[in-house]
Chain A
């Protein structure tokens, strides 16, 4: 199946720092999603992007749909301990109903 390259694989940051992560695909996507998975829980949708160039915020989170439609970015400003978790990107192309997921970025915030 389609593979999304998500980086970095893991991050260890101090509380208050900003975080950036990204996701790239070999194919063009029409929709990009960002999910967060808390320890022991299922992934929860954070942000959905539907148009190339779109920039969307959800509190301290901001995500962008890359202009080439082959990448997406997630930024977290002023991190706090509850930001800890695994962040997944997901993309949907022209062929069918399916979303493809990245391998995840594990975020650790040090108080």
Chain B
């Protein structure tokens, strides 16, 4: 079974902090994705990566950056956290053109 592991289930940070959300997958998937989920808005794509050191902007990249130094790990970085970034963050991975497998999410609160 594919396992996508997000480092924290719950996280509380302060405005202005730099925040790192980590995601690791164990199935040698090329593709990795970061989404945020807000009530009524579904899943919105922040960034994705098709290969190591490669990244592409999704629909809402502003205020975020990503890092993919190793194939199995995809990190989401909030450069200077703001209250409007309070949300559920979901990481996913997949083989090319195949369905995505999701982690359990990180519920992030910015105070």
Chain A residues close to B by CB (< 8 Å): 1, 6, 9, 31, 33, 35, 40-45, 48, 88, 90, 92, 97-99, 101-104
B58-86 CB mask vs A (1 if < 8 Å, else 0) is 11000000000000000000000000000
Show 27 A/B contacts (Cβ-Cβ < 8 Å), sorted by A.
Answer: A1-B45, A1-B59, A9-B40, A31-B99, A33-B99, A35-B102, A40-B105, A41-B104, A41-B105, A42-B4, A42-B92, A42-B102, A42-B105, A43-B43, A43-B102, A45-B99, A45-B100, A48-B99, A88-B43, A90-B100, A92-B97, A97-B31, A99-B100, A101-B35, A102-B42, A103-B41, A103-B42
Q: How far is the CA of A66 from the CA of B101 in the complex (A)?
A: 24
Q: How far is the CA of A104 from the CA of B103 in the complex (A)?
A: 18
Q: Which residues of B contact A35 (CB under 8 A)?
A: 102
Q: Is the CB of A104 within 8 A of B102?
A: no
Quote the shortest CB–CB distance from A10 to chain B (angstroms).
10
Quote the shortest CB–CB distance from A85 to chain B (angstroms).
13
Q: Which residues of B contact A99 (CB under 8 A)?
A: 99-100
Q: Is the CB of B45 within 8 A of A88?
A: no
**Chain B interface: which size bin?**
20 to 34
Quote the shortest CB–CB distance from A93 to chain B (angstroms).
11
Q: Is the CB of B96 within 8 A of A42?
A: no
A-B interface pairs (CB < 8 A), number: 50
CB closest chain-A residue, reference B107: A40
CB closest chain-B residue, reference A99: B100
Pick from B41, B58, B59, B90: contact of A42, CB under 8 Å: B90
CB closest chain-A residue, reference B96: A97
Q: How far is the CA of A6 from the CA of B102 in the complex (A)?
A: 20
Quote the shortest CB–CB distance from A33 to chain B (angstroms).
5
Inter-chain pairs besides A31-B99, A42-B92, A88-B42, 18 sampled, C-beta below 8 Å: A1-B45, A1-B59, A42-B102, A42-B103, A43-B43, A43-B90, A45-B101, A92-B97, A97-B50, A97-B97, A99-B99, A99-B100, A101-B35, A101-B43, A103-B40, A103-B42, A104-B42, A104-B43
